[in-house]
Amino acid sequence: MNVLFVAAEATPYVKAGGLADVAGALPAALRTLGHDVRVVLPRYREIRQNGVPMEGPIAATFLPLGERAEELRVWRARDDDVPTYLLDVPAAFERGVIYGESDDHRRFILFARAVLATMQHLREVDGWQPDVVHCHDWHAALVINYLKTYYAYTFGHIATVFTIHNLAYQGQVHPDVLAVAGLSEGGLVENGLGAGIAHSFNFMARGILYADVVSTVSPTYAREIMTPEYGERLDGLLRRRQDRVAGILNGIDTGRYDPATDRHLVATYDVDHLEGKAECKAALQTRCGLPVDAARPLLGVVSRLVEQKGFDLLHVIMPWLLQETDAQLVLLGSGQPYLQEAFQRLAHHHPQRVAVTTGFDAALAQQIYAGSDAFLMPSRFEPCGLGQLIALRYGSVPIVRATGGLADTVREGYDGNGFRFHPYEASHFIDAIRRALISYRDVDGWKLLRERGMREDHSWTMAARHYAGLYQWARGQ
């Protein structure tokens, strides 16, 4: 199949969040299965300044935006592995940031129009046309809207897939934007989907409404977002389309995240030779200023310090952890100031038990995965989650709240690979940690638990096979 990926970010070109990892890794995995996958993304100032090798411009035109027209130039990255087209719209993307501008809605209207113009160029000049257009998150949603309306005659036979990475970010703006985008209400009001949607211009809602198939990044999250608790006011629309909604777990780059080859570690190891993990634990304790003690359980955290990730709950249980257990905690991350400061105070008052590093340090992150005995992810909601997948690969047993992708990847019990709790309450989180610490004292049982997680396949190849099936489903709609 010919597949066109449309995303606002993708590694190795530009990254603001986890979307970039998906848009960078999944196309490559699909190409190894024989599919002709190409990627389009904005040519941000950052990409230009970083000196990414490019050919072009291979095409140039003007894009309508309300009563104005903005210049588009199309460049092709010199990357033979995954053909990537960088859409240069200076009015929209010659900025110092990727997201967060007051005119983001205008920027991504232009991006959608630029994608359609690029598709026309590829068909007319290169003779290449996608069988499936795969759009990611609200920034790319209008591509599907345009394909199914104004371009229905030109590209009407092309199937569309819309992937929701995080439903909380929807691109919801004033309805006046309809005129700027050159779109009608498009059925949203007529379908009676509620004032929160019908009386605004909602990029995400339009992607959900017009796509042949809607996907999310885990099966559990696909079910959760159809409920009022997780649906972010779009649950009604999602329930209407539930027969075309699917959840596919993200993968991880198993070449990058491999304890057998990781250059950031003092000692490498694999599931059959775990001696190096003990060295990694001692090195992590030393680096973080904690007493080096092989017997003491070491808990790791690598995350944004925000309430979504459950750090208000972690802070609530810290007195219990410090008073009733001998566990150490190593935390890397930054986020909401009050949470960041709260954990820094804990580290200051308990330097033998708690170590906190703010910001992000890629080497330290890998060292925490390798050196920790268990990995904490008490998220309020988690569409997929990558931390638990990396932790499993490095033999750090995950302790998670059973939501979204965490519920799909972490099992507790006879054939388990970790520990989980569901009610978002301190007592349930404490019980999960207590069960893990009891298990930790059973040396043989803990070794078996760790090895079971390390042997699991969470590669992008597995995810790519599922997406290939999803594309066939979309083409049959």
Q: How would you classify the pairing of strands 328-332 and 201-202? A: unpaired
281 is in an annotated binding site: no
- CA 234 to mean position of chain CA atoms: 20
Structure tokens at 308: 């979504």
Longest alpha-carbon distance in the chain: 70
Backbone angles phi, psi at 279, to 5 degrees: -65, -40
Contact 372, 330 (CB under 8 A): yes
Backbone angles phi, psi at 228, to 5 degrees: -60, -30
Q: Residue 355, exposed/middle/buried by CB under 10 A (0-12, 13-18, 19+)?
A: buried
Instruction: Cis check for the bond before 12: say yes or no (omega within 30 of 0).
Output: yes
Write the DSSP symbol of residue 72: E
149 CB-near residues (< 8 Å, 6+ apart): 183, 184, 186, 210
Report the SS3 class of residue 171.
coil
What is the Cα–Cα distance from 358 to 311, expressed in whole angstroms? 14
347 CB-near residues (< 8 Å, 6+ apart): 331, 354, 355, 356
Instruction: Cis check for the bond before 351: say yes or no (omega within 30 of 0).
Output: no
What is the Cα–Cα distance from 399 to 271, expressed in whole angstroms? 20
- What does each C-alpha distance from 76 to 25, 79, 80 come to in angstroms? 18, 8, 10
Task: With CA atoms as reference, report the closest residue to 140 among 210, 82, 63.
Answer: 210
Write the DSSP symbol of residue 186: T
Beta strands in 31-89 (DSSP E): 36-42, 54-65, 68-77, 84-88
Rounded (to 5) percent helix, strand, coil in the chain: 45, 20, 40
User: What Rg, from alpha-carbon coordinates, does the chain have?
Assistant: 23
Structure tokens at 445: 């049982």
State the binding site: 15
State the binding site for ADP-alpha-D-glucose: 15
